[in-house]
Amino acid sequence: MVVLESIRRKDLWVVAILGFLVIASAGMLGIFGFQGLELFAKDLGFSVLSMFSTVVAVLTSTRVMPEELKQRTLYPLLARPISRFDLLVGKLLGSILVSWIGFLLLAAMTGIALLWFGVKFDLLTVQYLVAKMLGLVIVCSVGLTLSLCMTHAAGCTVSVRVAFASGLISRALILACASSSDGFRLLFKVLNGVLPAYGLFDLGGRAAYLHWSPVAPWVILALAAYMLIYSSSMLALAWIRFRRLAI
């Protein structure tokens, strides 16, 4: 239902149009020559891919539950032989699937644009795609949880800000921790641990450079483990909140 609703709202069509614009922009760039711009093209392509896929994940995950509550379509869903936890899991999986479809669609368009000018891909590029898809799971879980704890607009706004500013906030907490007393140092460490580390899943900067070696397999496994732990924690918080919600 989440996927069909996304198609009805033309969300994935917007992603397809953005992908077409990426290819068109690459064509405009080719008019002026592409020799020596491979690094710039890959970095730009990965940045655009990361930004738009994150936006799609946030918009989808923060919308699924508030719309069910607002339109009162939640009652026939809960009248079926499913629990509230089953409903949350289904909404989360649907949001993840929509974000993955949009991400892979845009990745395919970006790949065509880069291959057009002879930019080669390697194992590190595949690792970038896998790591980014793992990161989108956390984006969706955080968005779903915040949408149940706040209004739709507030949850969407906070999710976007956390997604794009988590690295900056984390660095600020580290600097504050280094120059604080013991009590505040512990507080800053806890806040930094609670904050989702989206930057760990972004290998775009590494993948954009030519002739860099792939990351070790245990790194991808560690990212997958972090994703499972963090997304499960967010789902548990969402379930606690949803259980106490008067419907």
Measured CA to CA, the distance from residue 247 to residue 242 in angstroms comes to 9
Task: For residue 187, give the H/E element and its range.
Answer: helix 182-194
Express each pLDDT in 163-195 by its tens digit. Answer: 888 777 777 777 777 777 776 777 777 777 778
What is the mean pLDDT, run by run of 10 residues, along the chain of 247 residues? 70 67 62 59 77 86 83 76 86 91 84 72 84 92 90 84 80 74 74 81 76 84 93 92 79
Express each pLDDT in 64-100 by its tens digit. Answer: 888 877 777 777 777 778 888 888 898 999 999 988 9
Measured CA to CA, the distance from residue 139 to residue 4 in angstroms comes to 20
Torsion angle of C-alpha atoms 61, 65, 68, 71, degrees rounded to 10: -90
pLDDT at 19: 64
Measured CA to CA, the distance from residue 158 to residue 148 in angstroms comes to 13
pLDDT at 227: 93
pLDDT at 204: 76
Whole-prediction pTM value?
A: 0.85
